[in-house]
Amino acid sequence: MSTTRRIAIVGGGVAGLGPAWQLARRGWDVHLFERDEIGCGASGRAAGMLAPNSEVTFEEEQLLRLGQASLKRYPRWVEELTDATGADLDYRRGGALIVAVDRDDAEELEQLYQYHQRLNLPVERLIGRQAHRMEPGLSPSVHYALFTPGDHQIDPAAMVEALGEAFVAAGGHLHQHQPVAKVLIGDKLEGLGFEDGSTEYFSHIVIAAGPWSSQLEGIPDGILPSIRPIRGQMLVVELGEPPLVEHVVRAPDAYLVPRRDGRLLIGSTMEERGFDPRPSAGGLLDILEGAREAVPGIYDAHILDYWTGFRPTTLANQPVIGPTSIDGLYLSVGHGRNGILLTPITAYGLAETIDTNELPSILRPFAPSG
Ligand SMILES: Cc1cc2nc3c(=O)[nH]c(=O)nc-3n(C[C@H](O)[C@H](O)[C@H](O)COP(=O)(O)OP(=O)(O)OC[C@H]3O[C@@H](n4cnc5c(N)ncnc54)[C@H](O)[C@@H]3O)c2cc1C
C-alpha cells in the first residue's frame, strides 16, 4: 500500500465513520481511532430524525440546503449500507407531525407554515380532526398541526454499528480503545501520537472527535473552530400496542420518535453543562411533560432507558467540513443537532474532497476557515 494514501480518522462517530467507509471503498489505507467504542458519543445516542425541513429555523437557509442535499442521498446511502452488511436500519420515509398544544404554539406554527411555503418546502396544514386521524393518541388540546411528508427517520445506533462493519469489510482498520493524544505537525503533517506514548505516520488525518476535538494537542491555533458540547437528555419508553404514535411527533417542548423494535424515544433537552454525563431529574421531567402535553398516554408507558449525549456545536451552529490550511489535515466537526441527517453528505463529500483534492460546491460554505 502506498504511504501517500495512508489516512487516519480520529473519532468513531458518524462524522468519522462515514468518510472512513467511503475512503476505504475508494482504495485508501484507512485507520480509524476511537478512544472508547464506536457510537459511544452523540452518534449512538441520537433520535435519528432526518428532518431538514422541520429543523429549519429562520436564519439557517444554507444549513437547510445542506440538510436537503444529504436527505436526497439517504436512500442510496441506506441501500449501500444494507447491501454491505444486511443490517436493518429502521429507515422510514413516513413524514413527521409538528403539533401545537395551545394558541401561542398555533401562531408560531402558522409562521413556520408560511416560511415553509415561501421556501417551497413540502408541508400540509392540518386541523385538529385531521391530525387526530393520523395519530389517535394526540391530546384533545391539539387543534392545529403541520405534516412534513419529506421528513425521514433512521435508527442511529444501528447505523453506527453497520458503518463499523461496512468499514472493516471494505478493508478499513478499526482501532477501538485507542485514544489519540496528539496530532504531530512539524514542517508538515507527520502523524498521530497516542495516549500510550506510541506514534504512527499518516499522510492525511481527519479530525472527527466531536466536541472533544479541541482537547487534541498539537493542532495550531486558528485551525479548529470553537466546538462546545450541547447536552441532550433522552428517555425511552415502551411504544405499546396499539402504538402510542406511528409517526415522529414534534411538540413544542419534546419530540417522540417511534421505533420498529417497540421503543419510543422521547427527547430532548438543549443544555450547556460541559461534559457532565449524568441525566437530571429536571431535564427528564421537562421532556416527559412536553411529551405528555401532546400524547397523554405516555403517562402509563413503561420506562426502558434514559441517557445523555453531547451535540458537537460551533458558534455559527454549522458543521465545518473540508481541508485546513495544513496540507493533509481535514476537519469533520460541529454537526450539532443534525449530524445523523448530515451523515451521507459528509461521508460522500469529504471522501471525494480527500480523494480528488476538490471540495464539492455544496460543502464550500462549510469549509474550515483556518
Ligand atoms: C440527544 C441527542 C439527539 C439527537 N438527535 C438527532 C436527530 O434526531 N437527528 C440528527 O440528525 N442528529 C441528532 N443528534 C445530533 C447527532 O447525534 C450528532 O450531530 C452527531 O452524532 C455527531 O457526530 P460526531 O461523529 O461528530 O460526534 P460523536 O458521535 O460524539 O463522535 C465523536 C467520537 O470521537 C471519540 N473521541 C473523542 N476524543 C477522542 C480521542 N482523543 N481519540 C479517539 N477518539 C476520540 C468519542 O469517543 C466519540 O465516539 C442528536 C444528538 C443528541 C445528543
The predicted-structure confidence for 111-122, as pLDDT tens digits, reads as follows 999 988 988 889
Whether residues 14 and 133 share a domain: the answer is no
The model's confidence at residue 54, banded by pLDDT at 50, 70 and 90, is confident
In this structure, are residues 349 and 321 in contact, taking their beta carbons and an 8 Å threshold?
yes
* Domain span including residue 105: 96-149+228-313
> Does ligand 1 come within 6 angstroms of the Cβ of 234?
yes
pLDDT digits (tens, 9 = 90+) for 327-343: 999 999 999 999 999 99
- Which residue's C-alpha cell is 472493516? 168
Total tally of structural domains belonging to the chain: 2
Pocket test for ligand 1, best of 43, 159, 234, 333 (most atoms within 8 A of CB): 43
The pLDDT of 181-198, averaged and rounded, is 97
Distances 369 to 66, 142, 217 between C-alpha atoms, Å = 18, 45, 19
Whether residues 27 and 170 share a domain: the answer is yes
Given this model, what pLDDT does residue 178 score?
Answer: 98
In this structure, are residues 42 and 339 in contact, taking their beta carbons and an 8 Å threshold?
yes
Whether residues 232 and 133 share a domain: the answer is yes
Given this model, what pLDDT does residue 261 score?
Answer: 95
Instruction: Determine, yes or no, domain membership for 91.
Output: no
Whether residues 204 and 286 share a domain: the answer is no
% of the chain residues with pLDDT over 70: 98
% of the chain residues with pLDDT over 90: 93
| Ligand 1 atom at minimum distance from 231 CA | 53
- Of the candidates 296, 313, 330, which is a domain's last residue? 313
Whether residues 261 and 196 share a domain: the answer is no
Whether residues 328 and 203 share a domain: the answer is yes
Whether residues 309 and 232 share a domain: the answer is yes
Given this model, what pLDDT does residue 225 score?
Answer: 97
Instruction: Determine, yes or no, domain membership for 206.
Output: yes
Given this model, what pLDDT does residue 58 score?
Answer: 66
Instruction: Determine, yes or no, domain membership for 89.
Output: no
Whether residues 303 and 234 share a domain: the answer is yes
> Does ligand 1 come within 6 angstroms of the Cβ of 339?
yes
Distance, in Å, from the CA atom of 338 to the CA atom of 32, rounded to the nearest integer, reads 22
Instruction: Determine, yes or no, domain membership for 329.
Output: yes
Distance, in Å, from the CA atom of 275 to the CA atom of 28, rounded to the nearest integer, reads 34
* CATH number of the structural domain spanning residue 290: 3.30.9.10
Whether residues 246 and 260 share a domain: the answer is yes
Q: Which of the pair, 157 or 60, is modelled with greater confidence?
A: 157
Whether residues 286 and 181 share a domain: the answer is no
Q: Is 23 left (phi over 0), alpha (psi -120 to 50) or beta?
A: alpha
The model's confidence at residue 207, banded by pLDDT at 50, 70 and 90, is very high
Given this model, what pLDDT does residue 1 score?
Answer: 47
Residue 22: all three cell numbers together: 467511503
Instruction: Determine, yes or no, domain membership for 283.
Output: yes
Distances 305 to 20, 184, 223, 263, 283 between C-alpha atoms, Å = 30, 41, 38, 10, 14
Given this model, what pLDDT does residue 56 score?
Answer: 66
| Ligand 1 atom at minimum distance from 257 CA | 8
The model's confidence at residue 9, banded by pLDDT at 50, 70 and 90, is very high
Instruction: Determine, yes or no, domain membership for 52.
Output: yes
Instruction: Determine, yes or no, domain membership for 349.
Output: yes
Given this model, what pLDDT does residue 370 score?
Answer: 81
Pocket test for ligand 1, best of 98, 335, 343, 366 (most atoms within 8 A of CB): 335
The pLDDT of 79-88, averaged and rounded, is 98
> Does ligand 1 come within 6 angstroms of the Cβ of 213?
no
Whether residues 288 and 233 share a domain: the answer is yes
The pLDDT of 299-312, averaged and rounded, is 98
Beta bridge partners of residue 108, listed in sequence order: none
Instruction: Determine, yes or no, domain membership for 233.
Output: yes
The pLDDT of 21-27, averaged and rounded, is 98
Whether residues 202 and 161 share a domain: the answer is yes
Closest protein CA for atom 52 of ligand 1: 46
Mean residue pLDDT of the chain comes to 95
The model's confidence at residue 61, banded by pLDDT at 50, 70 and 90, is confident
* CATH number of the structural domain spanning residue 65: 3.50.50.60
